Every structure is written in structure tokens, then in C-alpha cells.
Chains A and B, each alone.
Chain A
């Protein structure tokens, strides 16, 4: 008997045929959607490689030796003659990042310890979401805060006032960046601390340790891999942060080690060029892709390192 002979069976077969095709269609469609993210990564990489080649070709056309990138101590791609001392922007990025980490790492870790080990549940239920608000504030708002609130305060409290503290300086940008990163460090470290089994804490109390001693010699060492990974991700976040540094840290093209003075970060440079009328396919235009590639590589290495750390040193209970 064929399916067409029986109307009910025919309807069933049609339905089955349709759902099978739907199954295949949706499986392929969602698969294409998922693999689209690979295209993004490949796209970013190709664009950077292509534009960096263009950058080095343009350098040669201008008669600038590529070794200048490592030997020069000024970064003025927009001036004539252009100078490409990449050390200037790398140092600027490093300085704001270090200042941010001095704020974010201890404060974030202490917050994580307080929230997971000491805070009563009711207090924790209030503090944790409030702390998350800090992470939801747009970075441009933090830039405003650094430039127009923190810098004037610094100029009042640092002896010497605005003669010592420049209107645009690395300290206020780095400090505010640190505040922005606190929730990231706190929530990732708290996850790591929370994963330490209670048995370890109770064992420590049983041999007579106080809560502080337990935290320091049992909980933190057990959560170390997660905490280090949180710290590395925090560094990566600070390196890529753009709006705070472009508003508050300035665009100084000279190598500078004074945190109270203006510095230029990689990201601030890209913003500076993007805001101006830089013609496409000019040397300055290629430079932002060169700077972007540098930034991409730095954050990629940090992210991979954080991931490796958490896998390599994870203690399994």
C-alpha cells in the first residue's frame, strides 16, 4: 500500500517530510550564524595585516626607515616630518594601566573577600548589585569624571597645585580607570573564592585558625589561579580602554615618566586621528591600523594568558 492511498498516512508522511527538512535547514542556518564569528576574527586579522603592509610601504615611500619605530622617542605621525617612536604610546598605555591596577587589584580583591567571606547575606544582596552599577556606567561618563571632577580635586590636594598637576594627566585617568575596573576584578575573584569548598575553611577553623588566617593561608592560595586570571583580564581591559584616557590623559607626543603630566596611549592616539580630517590612504591613516594591530596583539596575548592560567593551575576538588 502506498502512502498516497491512505489520506491519513499521506498527511503524516508530508508532515514528517516537512519537519525533517526544517530540521536540516535550521541546523545549517544556526551553524552558519555560529561560524560567522570566525569570519569576524579572520576579518579583523586580515584588515590589520593588509593595512600594516600598507603602513610599512608608505613608510618606505616617505623615506623613513622602519627601524625608527624602535629607536625614535617621539610619536608624531601627523606632523612633518613624521616620527614613529612607538615606545611613547606603549609607555603611555603602560603608565595609565599600572596606575589603574594599583587601584583596581587590591580594592577589587578586598571587595571580593569581603563579599564572599565576611558580608552577612542581607548586606551582600545590597552591595553586590550596587557594585555592578559601576560596571554599567558608560566609559565616556568616567572620562568626564576624570577630567572635570578628579583632576580639579588633584590640583587642590597635591602640593604645587595646577603648576605641578597638568590639566590632562595620567594619574587621574588611571585612577578613574581603576575605579571602573573594580567590579570586573571583584566579580571574577569572587567566583574563584566562592568555588573554594567549605570543607577547607572548616578544616582550618578546626585546627584553631581565625577567619583572617583562614582567608590568607587557605582560601586565597586555593583560589589563586582564578584570582591571577582575573588580574590579567583586568590589565587587558585597562590596555584597551579608550574614552577615559582620550578625555583625561591627553595627547603628549613625547616620552614622559611623570604621572602628573600628560601622556598619550595607543587608544587615545587612534581617537585623536579619527576625530581629525585625515584623508584615507595617507600615512597617518595607516598608522591607526598599525596602532590598532599593536593593541589587538597585546590584549589577545593577555586574554590567552588568563585562559591558560586558569586551566593550568586550577585545583580540582
Chain B
């Protein structure tokens, strides 16, 4: 009896090496593709820090924009972004979370109008942000002008709230859906109404997930530029909304607090002031021809990214704090 290898096995063996090499080559290519994007992320961060870091200082975040790049600051843009950050949740969160509760808990999904509702929300999430800018321009700046007084903080906040609403709804729905059925049934068993089971049991358990999703939606809104430009938010703003303090600029170009004005009237007035935001300011500086302004723009981006990192860390921390074991 011979132990010679059959011709087909010889064929298989020689072929196998080639096929094995193909697998390895493919793996290396796929790995390189995965780090391709990360390479450019690194390049971007390196360039931002190299150009922008020399301009980032306490003075940069406490002065107004200027025609002179060395004197330019982001105060009005930073304050504008922080205002938006506080106003958007007031409109978008109750509306979004309420809609999510209705769709997950109350709506009968076999009814055609509730199915349309679902399709509608997933389509809204795919509408380009600039379209929301056009909606805001028509609806909030022109139709609701008696309330918003034109291109103001309030109009900007309403536009961005509309923009993030579908995202808030989708992420809140996911968080609510993750609460086990048994929790609701246990609540019904002791005589809760549907709303009581939602309010006392489902929402507290879904809270961490809802919070994370909504903060991520908010951080997306803070980075949005296109809808605010379409809305006509100004790029050169050298004053602050008059709430909670009234400010003015002294001879050295420093912003000083004149008086405390934390009343309702000045709050309404603040909502109706023209505004700018960090991404708009960054866009404006980057689109100028002078190289010094490009560096100032990089510094503005660093401030914007720090704000976003802070928000995302808050999301992570709050998630850990409110996480309920299921």
C-alpha cells in the first residue's frame, strides 16, 4: 500500500496556500481601511492644535470678534451657543419624549395613521439640515415674527429644536422599548393606570437611555451651521443678550458687567436679540482670505470641540449616575 499523495490533494495543498494568503492580504486591506478615517481625524486634530492653540487664551473667550485677528474673540458666539444649548431642550425634549411615549405605549401600530407617523419620523430624520433652515426662515422668522422678532435667539432655538426633534423621538423610543414588559405588567397588577405605570416605572428605568440619546442630539444641534446661516444669524455681534446681566465694553476692549438684570422682561428681551453661534463664527473666519483669520478659526474650532466633549462626557457621566439595573 502506498502512502503517495493523490494528484487532487497536491492541487488542494498548493491552492490552499494561495487562498490563505488571499485571506491575509484582505485582512490587512480591511484593517487599513478601518484606520484610514482615523488617520485623517489625527491629521485634522494635529493641524487644529498647531494653528489654533497659540490663539486660545482667556482673552480669546472673553472678548468680542474684531477686524483685527489678534484681538478677535469668541465671547458672543460662545454665549450664543450656550443660550441655544439651554433653550433647545425646553422645546425639543418634552415634545420628543412625549411623542416617543405615545408611539411606544399608547399608539396602536396596526392603524394606518400611526404607521404613517412612524414613516414620517424616520423620513424627517433624513431631511438635510439646510431644509430645516429654510423652514425656520419661513415659519419662525417670517410667520411668527410678532413673537420671535425676526432673526433672533428664539427663532434659532426653535429651528434647531425642530431639527433635532426626530432624533430625540427615535432615541427616546429605543430607550423606552428597552424597558422589560414585566415591569409594566407588574404595575397594572397592583392597579396602576397606564400613565401611572409610565410615569412611576417605565420613565425612571428608561431615564438613563433617554438622557444619553437626547444629549447626543443636543450636541449635534450645537455643531449645526447650515440652518443658522439660512436663518440669517449674523456673524458680527458685539453685544450679549441682556440676561442675567447687562454688559458693556470698556476702553481696553474688555467686557464688563454693568448691572444684574435677571427679570422676566429682560429675559424676553434676551430671547429677541440677534445672535451668533460658534459654528457660524468659525465658518466666517475660515472663509476669509487672511491666513491669520484661519488660525483664529482653528482656535474657535478648539473651543467648539471642547464644548462638545464636555457635553458628551456629561452624557456618559449622567448615564452612569442614573443607570438602573434591569
Contacts and interface: CB of A to CB of B under 8 A. Distances in A.
A35 B165 CA distance: 12
Given A141-B301, A145-B47, A27 B128 contact: no
Given A295-B131, A299-B128, A211 B33 contact: no
A243 B123 contact: no
Contacts of B130: 240, 242, 267, 270-271, 292, 295
A88 B194 CA distance: 56
Most buried by A among B123, B131, B142, B312: B131
Given A37-B99, A114-B33, A145 B27 contact: no
Interface residues of A, number: 83
Contacts of B133: 270, 274
A37 B121 contact: yes
Contacts of B44: 137, 141, 145, 149
A107 interface: yes
Given A31-B106, A38-B117, A210-B20, A47 B135 contact: yes
Given A110-B29, A144-B297, A41 B123 contact: yes
Interface string A273-288: 0110000100000001
A251 B193 CA distance: 59
Nearest to A117: B30
Given A33-B94, A304-B123, A138 B34 contact: no
Most buried by A among B35, B36, B219: B36
A6 interface: no
Contact of A303 (B126, B131, B232, B279): B126
A60 interface: no
Contact of B23 (A144, A211, A299): A211
B76 interface: no
A75 interface: no
Interface in A43-65: 43-44, 47-48, 51
Contacts of A86: none
Nearest to B132: A44
B196 A19 contact: yes
B5 to A, nearest CB: 17
A138 B48 CA distance: 14
A127 B34 contact: yes
B95 interface: yes
A115 B117 contact: no
B299 to A, nearest CB: 11
Contact of A242 (B20, B96, B128): B128
A187 interface: no
A113 interface: yes
Interface in A282-306: 288-289, 292, 295-296, 299-300, 303-304
B58 interface: no
A30 B106 contact: yes
A60 to B, nearest CB: 22
A74 interface: no
A23 B30 CA distance: 54
A304 B138 CA distance: 26
Contact of B226 (A29, A148, A243): A243
B107 A111 contact: no
Interface string B125-166: 011111101110111001000000000000000000010011
A147 B286 contact: yes
A36 B162 CA distance: 10
Interface residues on chain B, size class: 35 or more
Interface string A14-30: 00000110110011011
A240 B94 contact: no
18 contacts: A23-B195, A26-B198, A34-B169, A107-B37, A131-B34, A134-B38, A138-B224, A138-B308, A140-B282, A140-B301, A141-B44, A176-B40, A179-B36, A239-B128, A241-B128, A243-B225, A243-B279, A271-B130
Interface of B: 19-20, 22-23, 26-27, 29-31, 33-38, 40-41, 43-44, 47-48, 51, 94-96, 98-99, 101-103, 106-107, 116-117, 119-124, 126-131, 133-135, 137-139, 142, 162, 165-166, 169, 193-196, 198, 219-220, 222-226, 229-232, 279, 282-283, 286-287, 294, 297-298, 301, 304-305, 308, 312
Interface of A: 19-20, 22-23, 26-27, 29-31, 33-38, 40-41, 43-44, 47-48, 51, 106-107, 110-111, 113-115, 118-119, 127, 130-131, 133-134, 136-141, 143-145, 147-149, 176, 179, 182-183, 186, 210-213, 215, 233, 236, 239-243, 246-247, 267, 270-271, 274-275, 280, 288-289, 292, 295-296, 299-300, 303-304, 307
